[in-house]
């Protein structure tokens, strides 16, 4: 399937460079370009993109607020946001995740890594640059800000194990290997956990795990 991508960045040259890169991939199509956060929200609604590559520093409406509007719009429930920025501060990373972003990368990422990141997020997985760690997540997640249908206490023991592994950055194949499950079973557990907690993606699972205390900073 072709991944329909919307590019949001206030620098025309940067957008065009990203567009050329994405169009070179056989499984991607650039369906629009936005120079402001407000344009990104509007184009997400009209172009029906699968994923928005979102800068943070933009005029009119910044990328964090634009991400929040997209995530809160029921009509855009299937749209993923991958934040790509020069400003990889701890606050920006956590603000982006809280707003509903499914991934966070810095602009010095290699081209092949960006394409892989788009595929990862479009497939429903969360993705962070190597810099973000349990330390920064635990440091800034002091008060609940992700609305959840219930806490981890509603989960089975196996689902709690899966949630903890998701929070530590493991993908479905790695979770399956760690727990002695098939990849399909691991994926099913992740999906059921998301459903019970009422969250939209793995990034929000990470936040719930840390905010609930299920995973502590520094946990190996």
How does pLDDT run across 96-105, given as a tens digit for each residue?
Answer: 878 888 888 8
**Is 2's pLDDT higher than 70?**
yes
Q: Any idea what DSSP says for residue 60?
A: S
* Per-residue model confidence as pLDDT tens digits over 170-196: 778 889 999 999 989 998 999 899 888
**Is 133's pLDDT higher than 50?**
no
- CB atoms under 10 Å from CB of 188, counted, come to 14
**pTM for the whole thing?**
0.68
Residue 97 near residue 127, CB atoms below 8 Å: no
Q: Which residue has the higher pLDDT, 149 or 99?
A: 99
Mean pLDDT value of segment 13-29: 95
What are residue 84's DSSP bridge partners? Answer: 105
Q: How far apart are CA 36 and CA 59, in angstroms?
A: 5
Helices 157-167 and 183-197 pack at an angle, to 10 degrees, of 90
**Is 50's pLDDT higher than 50?**
yes
């Amino acid at each position: 399937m072709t991944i329909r991508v919307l590019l949001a960045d206030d620098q025309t040259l940067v957008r065009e460079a990203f567009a050329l890169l994405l169009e070179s991939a056989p499984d991607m199509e650039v369906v629009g370009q936005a120079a402001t956060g407000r344009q990104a929200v509007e184009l997400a609604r009209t172009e029906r993109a699968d994923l928005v590559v979102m800068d943070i520093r933009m005029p009119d409406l910044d990328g964090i607020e634009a991400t929040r509007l997209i995530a809160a719009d029921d009509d855009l429930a299937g749209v993923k946001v991958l934040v790509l920025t020069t400003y990889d501060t701890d606050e920006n990373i956590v603000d982006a995740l809280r707003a509903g972003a499914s991934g966070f990368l810095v602009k010095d990422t290699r081209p092949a890594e960006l394409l892989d990141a788009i595929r990862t997020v479009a497939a429903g997985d969360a993705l962070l640059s190597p810099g973000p760690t349990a330390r920064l997540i635990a440091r800034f997640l002091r008060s609940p800000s992700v609305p959840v249908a219930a806490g981890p206490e509603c989960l089975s023991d196996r689902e709690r194990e899966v949630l903890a592994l998701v929070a530590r950055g493991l993908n479905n194949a790695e979770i399956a290997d760690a727990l002695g499950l098939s990849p399909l079973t691991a994926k099913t557990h992740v999906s059921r956990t998301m459903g019970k907690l009422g969250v939209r993606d793995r990034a929000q699972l990470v936040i719930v795990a840390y905010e609930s205390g299920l995973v502590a900073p520094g946990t190996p």
